[in-house]
Amino acid sequence: MEHQGRTAIVTGGSKGIGAASVEVFAREGANVIILDVDEAQGNDVASKAGEKVVFIKCDVSKEQEVKAAIAKGVEKFGQINYLVSNAGIQRYSTVTETSEEEWDLVMDINLKSAFLCAKHAIPHMQKIGKGVVVNVSSVQAMISQGNVCPYVTSKTAMIGLTRSIAVDYGPQVRCVAVCPGSVDTPMLRWGFEQSPDPEIPYQECVDMHLTKRIAQPIEVGEFIAYLCSDKAAFMTGQAYRIDGGLGVMIPGSKR
């Protein structure tokens, strides 16, 4: 019961990595506030996780909604110990193909949301003298596929946001980024479905990891919960890859 009596906000907690993080926090005794736009899935995750998990409908790219949702969460549980900024979307385009609207949409949901949630959650951590912010970035902040320019830009900028929060609010507040490789979630499956034969990108994803498989969301959820715990008390300001060894091997023959 590592997180007993603590309260975590998880954005994008209705599905995928966020839902898995909610499951781990709840299992380890935390109160959890899910902020997501998917009400049906969010309520489902909350009801399965037990009475200490609440869903609050919130578009995390909108400051007034974030401010009101965090205030509502504090009213319910009294304090905020952890913020997991995980909500995100994927879009496929290069610089010359990306419309201004699509660029803004990806930046708002993937990056601005993390700024807004930190802005409104950190003062509650300061009130109790302690807190942890985990920003869910991507291994694509370090190595990039083609055709995902706005996504890669947003995920790379999240590492700068992480460093700034760690510098500005330490030692009271720790801030780290998590950079997953391919994780089997609705987002990844949606990505595969953009291909005429979804099996081809799926197999490519499997093959490019040294583990020869993609991750399950719970593996990332466990890591996020660990980073929030006191066991990770010396970890701040850094981005940590959980990526099955993706990108560490130089192509060519193995002897």
Q: Does 221 bind ligand NAD (CB under 6 A)?
A: no
Q: Does 38 bind ligand NAD (CB under 6 A)?
A: yes
Q: In the complex with ligand NAD, which residue's Cβ is closer, 35 or 49?
A: 35
> Which of 7, 18, 33, 161 lies at the binding interface for ligand NAD (CB under 6 A)?
18
Contact between residue 69 and residue 56 where contact means Cβ atoms under 8 Å apart: yes
CB of 199 to ligand NAD, least distance (A): 17
Annotate 12-54 with DSSP letters as a single string.
TTTSHHHHHHHHHHHHTT-EEEEEES-HHHHHHHHHHH-TTEE
Angle, in degrees to the nearest 10, between helices 113-128 and 149-169:
20
The C-alpha atoms of residue 88 and residue 177 are separated, in whole angstroms, by 14
Q: How far is CA 62 from the centre of its chain?
A: 17
> Which of 16, 150, 221, 244 lies at the binding interface for ligand NAD (CB under 6 A)?
16
Contact between residue 228 and residue 29 where contact means Cβ atoms under 8 Å apart: no
Of residues 163 through 182, those in contact with ligand NAD by CB under 6 A are 180, 182
Using CB atoms, what's the residue nearest to ligand NAD? 16
Looking at the DSSP bridge assignments, the partners of residue 7 are 31
Q: Does 88 bind ligand NAD (CB under 6 A)?
A: yes
Of residues 91 through 120, those in contact with ligand NAD by CB under 6 A are 109
CB of 52 to ligand NAD, least distance (A): 20
For ligand NAD (CB under 6 A), the number of binding residues is: 28
Q: In the complex with ligand NAD, which residue's Cβ is closer, 89 or 107?
A: 89
Q: What is the dihedral of CA 88, 91, 92, 95, to 10 degrees?
A: -90
Q: Is residue 92 among the annotated active site residues? A: no
Q: In the complex with ligand NAD, which residue's Cβ is closer, 130 or 218?
A: 218
Q: In the complex with ligand NAD, which residue's Cβ is closer, 69 or 128?
A: 69
Q: In the complex with ligand NAD, which residue's Cβ is closer, 23 or 38?
A: 38
Of residues 125 through 144, those in contact with ligand NAD by CB under 6 A are 136, 138
The C-alpha atoms of residue 45 and residue 107 are separated, in whole angstroms, by 26
CB of 32 to ligand NAD, least distance (A): 14
Q: What is the dihedral of CA 109, 115, 120, 125, to 10 degrees?
A: 120
> Cα-flanking dihedrals φ and ψ of residue 39, to 5°?
-70, -45
Of residues 182 through 211, those in contact with ligand NAD by CB under 6 A are 182-183, 185-188
CB of 37 to ligand NAD, least distance (A): 4
* Options 82, 151, 169, 202, the catalytic residue: 151
The C-alpha atoms of residue 54 and residue 182 are separated, in whole angstroms, by 28
Tokens describing residue 124: 């509650």
Q: How many other CB atoms are found less than 10 A from the CB of residue 52?
A: 15
Q: Rule CB under 6 A: which residues touch ligand NAD?
A: 11-12, 14-18, 35-38, 59-61, 86-89, 109, 136, 138, 180, 182-183, 185-188
Active-site residue numbers? 151
